[in-house]
Amino acid sequence: MAENGFQSETSPLLPKGPSIQQDVLPVDRTWTSTVELKKRLGLSNGVSMIVGTIVGAGIFVSPAGVIRYAGSIGLALVVWVLTGLVCLISALCYTELGTMIPKSGGDYDYAYILAAFGPFPAFLQLWTMLVIVKPAGNAIVALTFANYVLRPFYDDVDCHPPSSAVMLIAALVLCLLTFINCYNVKWATFVQDSLMFAKVIALVIIVIAGFVHLAQ
């Protein structure tokens, strides 16, 4: 560099080209504005979670009530087909929302309500699910599981499992699953996959038994 006829013997303090910060430690500028969960679930875990959510514990309890109030097997099948179509439409809506708003926020619309209506409705939705809807649903599933576990020990139709035993087993199951979900994500996905396969196998056995019964 020549200045006033003299050659400069000094070198620049900072090198030309990319900045030192970029050369030494690349900085992701998005992390300061968003907080997201670490992605630890694969495609198989996601499919298992969705199938396990669709095939809920209610499928093993509700058919008797549907047949009882429908009055005939044909009408009960029509009810199942119509409700299946409604569930399909709901699933397509969630698919569209999931691709439009790929953000963390739980499976019950927090991220979607936050994007559409703002933080206050999303806050109310989140705490309603956390305090009322989710605990009540989990309690019903746990009580159903406890009833099915204890039913083989009480063969008499008029003899039902003691309510205290049912509630004790349901509470133990809830505590165990809560511990697994809090302790390790891999454990939680393994339990989710195992329960999903068990439910699907049970449904396949019931369907096959139904066709065999109809063929006789």
Q: Are residues 145 and 78 in the same domain?
A: no
Quick one: DSSP state of residue 129?
A: I
Alpha-carbon gap, residue 143 to 60, rounded angstroms: 13
7 near 1, Cβ under 8 Å? yes
Nearest 5°: phi and psi at 150? -85, -20
- Say what the pLDDT of residue 104 is: 66
- For 31, the token pair is 């992390």
Q: Are residues 173 and 147 in the same domain?
A: yes
Q: Are residues 113 and 199 in the same domain?
A: yes
Residue where a domain stops, chosen among 71, 100, 129: 100
Question: Which secondary structure element, helix H or strand E, spans residue 181, and what is its range?
Answer: helix 163-183
Q: What is the mean pLDDT of each run of 10 residues along the chain (216 residues)?
A: 49 47 44 58 78 76 82 85 89 82 65 81 86 88 86 74 90 92 84 85 86 81
Q: Which domain holds residue 144?
A: 108-203
The answer to whether residue 14 sits within a structural domain is no
> Which residue in this structure is represented by tokens 């020990």?
153
Measure CA of the first residue to CA of the last residue in the chain; give whole Å: 100
- Say what the pLDDT of residue 36 is: 61
- The number of domains in the chain is 2
